[in-house]
Amino acid sequence: MERLSMEIASPRVRVPKYRVIRLVVVIWMTVVILGAFSFGGWVLAIPRIEMLEHTARNLYFHVPMWFTMMAITLVSAYHSLRLLQTGQAIRDIRARTAALLAVVFGLLGLATGSTWAHYTWYEGTNIWWNFDPKQSMAAIQVLIYGAYFALRTALDDPEKRARIAAVYNLFAFVTVPFLLYVLPRQMESLHPGAEGNPAFSEITDPIMRIVFYPAIVGFIGLCWLLYTQRVRARVIEERIEALHQPIL
């Protein structure tokens, strides 16, 4: 394996193109949020189902959180793999930033899902956590990234930290798919498409899909925006830190 190059290659950015994409994401998200909260009565009037009522709008937020989390988890694992192959310091920054965003979106997904279930399915009870397979899997994934960050703080040498953390990230990544196999056999699910619940495609009203599909694209775009900005900010921060290092 090559040694980590101390000089961090800055990610190449085509500024005008980047600004255009950023503007598109911002406008797109604005429209999605307006659509999600449209109570106009004629535009995007969602069907009122007993018990769900207007909480059904949570679909536009809760589900895209999972899609985004899965996407950014893949990004994190990919960059950890590339770090081991190439030893470029930028890969470590990318893997770490992606992991941080996976935690953020995972926690948001857990919070929206848990609140949703509490006020609909478990209305009148005191249940917040129901051992749903998808919920447990997300919680474990967040815990894994928590362990990943704990491991990072235990290592001082930057080159070693990048390499060892990448090994742990990849090692954890291969054990997660087992949860997909094991968990649904042990726990019951409230989610669509599991244990006699109708699948998503059968029960979702076409009106809701008008907002739902763009919401997925929008949240992934938002995540991409946060990700790229954090990566570039981190590169600059590390350069400044390097400037303050005493020259021996």
Partner 1 sequence: MVWLHSALAVLVKDMKLELRSRYALNVLMVFVLSALLVVLIAVGREDISAQAQAGLLWIVILFAAAVGLGRSFVTEEEQGTVLLLRLHTTGSMVYAGKLLFNFVVGLGVNALSLGVFVLLLNVEVTLPWLLMLTLCLGTLGLAGATTILAAIIARTTRRGPLLPVLLFPLLMPLLLSAIDATHQSLGGPGGWEASLNPLLALFAFAGVVITTSVLLFDYVWND
Report the distance separating Cα 98 and Cα 149, nearest Å: 12
Position 172 contacts partner 1 (CB under 8 A): yes
Contact 145, 103 (CB under 8 A): yes
Position 15 contacts partner 1 (CB under 8 A): no
Position 186 contacts partner 1 (CB under 8 A): yes
Q: Whose CA is closest to 53, among 135, 110, 119?
A: 119
Report the distance separating Cα 214 and Cα 121, nearest Å: 27
Q: Which is nearer to partner 1, 172 or 216 (CB)?
A: 172
Position 207 contacts partner 1 (CB under 8 A): no
Binding range to partner 1, per CB under 8 A, among 12-20, 49-57, 149-157, 218-226: 149-157
Report the distance separating Cα 188 and Cα 200, nearest Å: 17
# of chain residues touching partner 1 (CB under 8 A) = 31
Binding string, residues 65-94; x marks residues near partner 1 by CB under 8 A: -------------------x----------
Tell me the closest approach of the beta carbon of residue 31 to partner 1, in angstroms: 38
Position 171 contacts partner 1 (CB under 8 A): yes
What the block records as the tokens of 42 is 């004629």
Q: Which is nearer to partner 1, 52 or 164 (CB)?
A: 164
Position 183 contacts partner 1 (CB under 8 A): yes
Q: Whose CA is closest to 212, among 41, 203, 137?
A: 203
Length of the chain (residues): 248
Contact 209, 79 (CB under 8 A): no
Position 32 contacts partner 1 (CB under 8 A): no
